[in-house]
Amino acid sequence: MKISEVMSMPECHWVKSHLTQYLDRDPSAPLTDAELRRLEVHIALCDKCAAVSEDYRETSKALSQLRTHVDQESINRLSDSLKRLTSGE
Amino acid sequence: MSREEDFRLLVEPEIPVLLRVARSLAGNSRDAEDLVQETLINAFQGIDNFDGKYPRAWLFTILRNNSHNVWRKKKPDYVEDWNLTQGSRPAFNAEPPRTPEEEVLSGVIEPTLLNAVNALPEEFRSTLILVDVEGFSYAECAQILGVPIGTIMSRRSRAVAKVRKSLLKAREEAVRG
Ligand SMILES: [Zn+2]
C-beta atoms of A78 and B36 within 8 A: yes
What is the model's pLDDT at position B74?
54
Judge whether B82 is closer than 8 Å to chain A, CB to CB.
yes
Q: What is the pLDDT of residue B41?
A: 95
Residue type, B123: E
| A4-8, A73-77, B97-101, B140-144: the lowest-pLDDT one | B97-101
In B, residues 113-142, which contact A (CB 8 Å cutoff)? 113-114, 117, 128, 131-135, 137-139, 142
The contacts of residue A42 (CB under 8 Å, 6+ apart) are: A6, A7, A11, A12, A15, A49
Spatial distance between the Cα atoms of B152 and A18, rounded to a whole number of angstroms? 13
CB contact under 8 Å between B139 and A28, yes or no, is: yes
Fold of B99-176: Arc Repressor Mutant, subunit A (1.10.10)
What mean pLDDT value characterizes chain A?
A: 91
Could you write out the three-class secondary structure of chain B? CCHHHHHHHHHHHHHHHHHHHHHHHHCCHHHHHHHHHHHHHHHHHCHHHCCCCCHHHHHHHHHHHHHHHHHCCCCCCHHHHHHHHCCCCHHHHCCCCCCHHHHHHHHHHHHHHHHHHHCCCHHHHHHHHHHHHCCCCHHHHHHHHCCCHHHHHHHHHHHHHHHHHHHHHHHHHHHHC
First to last CA, chain A: 70
> What percent of chain A clears pLDDT 90, i.e. is strictly above it?
71
- DSSP classification of residue A44: H
This model of the complex carries an ipTM of 0.85
0.90 surpassed by pTM: no
Q: With 70 as the cut, is the pLDDT of residue A70 above it? A: yes
Q: Which long-range contacts does A70-74 make (Cβ < 8 Å, 24+ apart)?
A: A70/B16, A70/B19, A70/B20, A70/B23, A70/B29, A71/B19, A71/B29, A74/B19, A74/B29, A74/B32, A74/B33
Taking contacts as CB-CB distances below 8 angstroms, the residues of chain A near B135 are 64, 67
Domain boundary assignment for chain B: 3-72, 99-176
- The predicted structure's pLDDT at residue B97: 46
pLDDT of B84: 43
C-alpha A16/C-alpha B162 separation (Å) is 13
- Classify domain B3-72 at the CATH topology level: Rna Polymerase Sigma Factor; Chain: A (1.10.1740)
Give contacts of B 50-79 with A, CB under 8 A. none
What are the pLDDT tens digits along chain B (177 aa)? Answer: 688 888 999 999 999 999 999 998 887 888 899 999 999 999 999 988 888 788 899 999 999 998 877 655 555 555 455 544 443 343 443 444 445 445 445 556 678 898 899 899 988 999 999 999 999 999 999 999 999 999 999 999 999 999 999 988 988 888 887
